[in-house]
Structure 1
Amino acid sequence: MAIGKEKLIVAIDTDDYEKAVRLIDSLEESVEIYKVGLENYIASKGKTVDYLKEKKKKIFLDLKFHDIPNTMKSAVKAAVRDGVWMITIHVSDMESMRQCAQVAKEEASRLNIEKPLIVGVTVLTSISNEDLHDIGCLGNTEEIAIKRAKLAKAACLDGVVCSAREVGKIVDACGEDFMTVCPGIRPNKSDIGDQKRVVTPSEAVKNGAKVIVVGRPITQAQNPVLAAEQIVEEIDSVFM
């Protein structure tokens, strides 16, 4: 498998289940990993996850759990039973994160399945320094993302979701084995939409992203298959 194919996650961000199915079918030969977020998961009542499992695709369940420790732990336990590859929680208090990491390990062991990766969301790529200051956070996006990544590692999470702009410093702080998931990826000349801290696919990988998440530049392209294949080729060019 091409390196680029192993590093590309396509975001299925639609509230239309049939549209999601058509997209997955069209990308079947080009994409191996798909992100199912809140919009699609709620609208489809989880059916997209089931469909991806039928297709034997890797599933990134991006529901960003953020609640009291017991609720987060129970949600992660349920997600493990769903057989997904990776799960997001928000970087929050240490106890919640530790319990999520521990219950994922225990439930996977009980079911004799591979444990999904548990990654913590640091700072959303739609948030700017000004946005952080508005809600009372001291420091800029990079400083806060690095601090939260260190907390996630200390709580035994497998990695974090972060902007590719700060991913290099997070790798330096947390190590090469720490999973770094980078959304907010936009190929050259793409519309950035509601994202504020965007990076191209090749730049993200060069900076240290283990995987990148791409949504609208592929899903809303006139030719989604071509758009996905061009991104895979761009990633592959980094390793040539």
Structure 2
Amino acid sequence: MINGKEKLIVAIDTDEYEKAVDLIDSLEKSVDIYKVGLENYLASNGKTVDYLVSKGKKVFLDLKFHDIPNTMKSAVKAVINKGVWMLTIHVSDMEGMKQCAQIAKEESERLGIKKPLVVGVTVLTSLSNEDLSDIGCNMNTEETAIKRAKLAKAAGLDGVVCSAKEVDKIVEACGNDFVTVCPGIRPKTAEVGDQKRVVTPSEAIEKGASVLVVGRPITKAENPSIAADEIVKEIESVSV
């Protein structure tokens, strides 16, 4: 049977540290993994990450590093000692990704800690085929995500962030041991918001997603803990 709590990541989408702490405390028994993105990380000066680590929670640090190879490498090195479970970089040039994968391994070994997963962002779930065309990409979202996933694996990354719309194709191309992190997850009753490529929790798991990122359907719910529990149950309803 699937352990739904091991598959669910809750996105902390507030720029206030106190609200983040209240949310984490309200989800104490329901959620074990949290995503901290740019908004909260900068607003809290990283305090939310420290709070989560102090409570024994897993942290998905989603800062999406994207720069020249040396800068990306240095940024990855700088967060290794934060005790995070997983972090993101953008799928970019092969050399930059290789350096990020290597420094994560070397710095973790130097510090004597478990290496965090380093995953590459393929195509943001807020982007459509038209959006990619507007910026000069001659492939659609699925083709782009699959190609970038293959590049990420070849560079030594642990996995990718991708829409559940194409996760089955990525699993087929890169293998079951290649981590697939799927945002843009919305229960059928939830509003889509600014996401353009959304999938329900059960559909994403059925398509092979490793972990799911859920934000507003939980964080904006009247009772976040109940909302999280319902998604965990939906995940666990999938037969494997």
TM bin, normalised by shorter chain, reads over 0.9
User: Counterpart of 2:117 in structure 1: which amino acid?
Assistant: L
Aligned to 1:209, the other structure's residue is in SS state coil
Aligned to 2:237, the other structure's residue is in SS state helix
State the match for 1:71 in structure 2.
Answer: 71
Name structure 1 gaps, 5 residues minimum: none
Deviations 1:169-199 (A, max 9, x none): 0000000100000000000121000000000
State the match for 1:86 in structure 2.
Answer: 86
Aligned to 1:238, the other structure's residue is in SS state coil
Distance in 2 separating the partners of 1:40 and 1:106: 28
Find out whether 1:48 has 2:48 as its counterpart.
yes
User: Counterpart of 2:7 in structure 1: which amino acid?
Assistant: K
State the match for 1:162 in structure 2.
Answer: 162
- In the TM superposition, what are the counterparts of 1:33-44 in structure 2 within 5 Å? 33-44=33-44
State the match for 1:184 in structure 2.
Answer: 184
Aligned length: 240
What value does the CA root-mean-square deviation take over the aligned residues? 1.0
Distance in 2 separating the partners of 1:3 and 1:134: 41
The answer on whether the counterparts of 2:123 and 2:145 sit within 8 Å (CA) in structure 1 is yes
- In the TM superposition, what are the counterparts of 1:193-204 in structure 2 within 5 Å? 193-204=193-204
- In the TM superposition, what are the counterparts of 1:129-168 in structure 2 within 5 Å? 129-168=129-168
Deviations 1:26-82 (A, max 9, x none): 101100000000000000000000000110100000000001111100110111111
The answer on whether the counterparts of 2:13 and 2:37 sit within 8 Å (CA) in structure 1 is yes
State the match for 2:4 in structure 1.
Answer: 4
State the match for 2:120 in structure 1.
Answer: 120
Distance in 2 separating the partners of 1:28 and 1:221: 16
User: Counterpart of 1:40 in structure 2: which amino acid?
Assistant: N
Deviation at 1:83, TM superposition (A): 1.0
The answer on whether the counterparts of 2:32 and 2:58 sit within 8 Å (CA) in structure 1 is yes
Distance in 2 separating the partners of 1:237 and 1:134: 40
Deviation at 1:164, TM superposition (A): 0.2
Distance in 1 separating the partners of 2:183 and 2:209: 10
Name structure 2 gaps, 5 residues minimum: none
State the match for 1:98 in structure 2.
Answer: 98
Deviation at 1:239, TM superposition (A): 3.2
The answer on whether the counterparts of 2:60 and 2:85 sit within 8 Å (CA) in structure 1 is yes
The answer on whether the counterparts of 2:123 and 2:144 sit within 8 Å (CA) in structure 1 is yes
Shift in CA distance, 136/12, structure 1 to aligned 2, threshold 3 Å: same
User: Counterpart of 1:42 in structure 2: which amino acid?
Assistant: L
Deviation at 1:2, TM superposition (A): 6.4
The answer on whether the counterparts of 2:41 and 2:48 sit within 8 Å (CA) in structure 1 is yes
Distance in 2 separating the partners of 1:206 and 1:111: 38
State the match for 1:205 in structure 2.
Answer: 205
State the match for 1:21 in structure 2.
Answer: 21
State the match for 2:235 in structure 1.
Answer: 235
Distance in 2 separating the partners of 1:239 and 1:212: 17
Deviation at 1:94, TM superposition (A): 0.4
User: Counterpart of 1:4 in structure 2: which amino acid?
Assistant: G
User: Counterpart of 2:120 in structure 1: which amino acid?
Assistant: G
Q: Tell me the TM-score normalized by structure 1.
A: 0.99
Out of 213-222 and 73-82, give the one that drifted further.
Answer: 73-82
* Identical-residue share of aligned pairs (%): 77
The answer on whether the counterparts of 2:2 and 2:235 sit within 8 Å (CA) in structure 1 is no
